[in-house]
């Protein structure tokens, strides 16, 4: 616990009716005062620096799905899982396939899923999907038309297992 000491700032207390008092915080150890005095300005400055550092990095590490994907649109892909990346901040499924009903050749599609903690709550772990599994995925395409990324909304495996996003599960 700290101790407070009152000091008068260069004024003669006898001539003042209400002397100006400055309170300084001193950190006290079992051996006595260490000599470190933190004023209110120093504490305020340290708090502001801490908050700026805390918030400065978080804005760059996470994004709104609406900033990257066309959330109002949907694409459907039939294909085979090449890789399942079970990691934060979002899991990814990489599928080699083609758009359903499309005439184009197979492409590599990358579907951005939710966080691993959300998947775990729904019973999905890193062994749920494996390379080689045949799947059909639905999602919102990227805003950039040449980008084959998508925000995953639904997935069905050929053996009948499926996952649907929160909005679709509540119906």
d(CA 96, CA 69): 20
Minimal CA–CA distance to 24: which of 34, 36, 32, 10?
36
Phi and psi angles of residue 148, each rounded to the nearest 5 degrees, phi first: -100, 25
Phi and psi angles of residue 28, each rounded to the nearest 5 degrees, phi first: -110, 130
Minimal CA–CA distance to 131: which of 162, 165, 157?
157
* pLDDT, tens digit only, all 171 positions of the chain: 455 555 555 555 555 555 555 555 555 555 555 555 667 777 787 778 777 666 654 444 455 676 678 888 989 999 999 999 999 999 999 999 998 877 778 999 999 999 999 999 999 999 999 999 999 999 999 998 888 999 999 999 999 999 998 654 433
Does one domain contain both 108 and 34?
Answer: no
Does one domain contain both 82 and 115?
Answer: yes
Minimal CA–CA distance to 120: which of 156, 94, 88?
88
Reading the block at residue 50, the tokens are 């801490």
Question: What's the full length of the chain, in residues?
Answer: 171
Does one domain contain both 19 and 82?
Answer: no
Could you give the 3-state DSSP secondary structure of residue 166?
helix
Residue 112 covered by a domain? yes
* 33 bridge partner residues: 28
Does one domain contain both 117 and 76?
Answer: yes
The answer to whether 64 and 124 are in contact (CB under 8 A) is: no
Per the structure, the complete domain to which residue 20 belongs is given by 3-51
Residue 57 covered by a domain? no
């Amino acid at each position: 616990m700290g101790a407070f000491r009152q000091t008068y700032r260069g004024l003669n207390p006898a001539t003042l009716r209400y002397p100006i008092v400055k309170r300084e915080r001193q950190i006290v150890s079992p051996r006595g005062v260490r000599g470190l005095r933190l004023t209110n300005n120093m504490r305020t400055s340290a708090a502001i620096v801490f908050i700026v550092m805390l918030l400065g990095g978080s804005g760059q590490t996470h994004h709104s799905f609406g900033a990257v994907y066309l959330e109002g649109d949907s694409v459907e892909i039939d294909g085979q899982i090449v890789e399942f990346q079970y990691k934060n901040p979002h899991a990814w499924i990489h599928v080699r396939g083609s758009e359903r009903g499309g005439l184009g050749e197979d492409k590599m599609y990358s579907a951005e899923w939710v966080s691993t903690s959300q998947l775990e709550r729904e019973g999905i772990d890193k062994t749920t999907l494996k390379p080689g599994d045949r799947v059909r995925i639905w999602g919102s395409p990227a805003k950039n038309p040449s980008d084959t990324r998508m925000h995953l909304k639904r997935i069905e495996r050929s053996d009948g297992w499926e996952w649907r996003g929160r909005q679709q599960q509540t119906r």
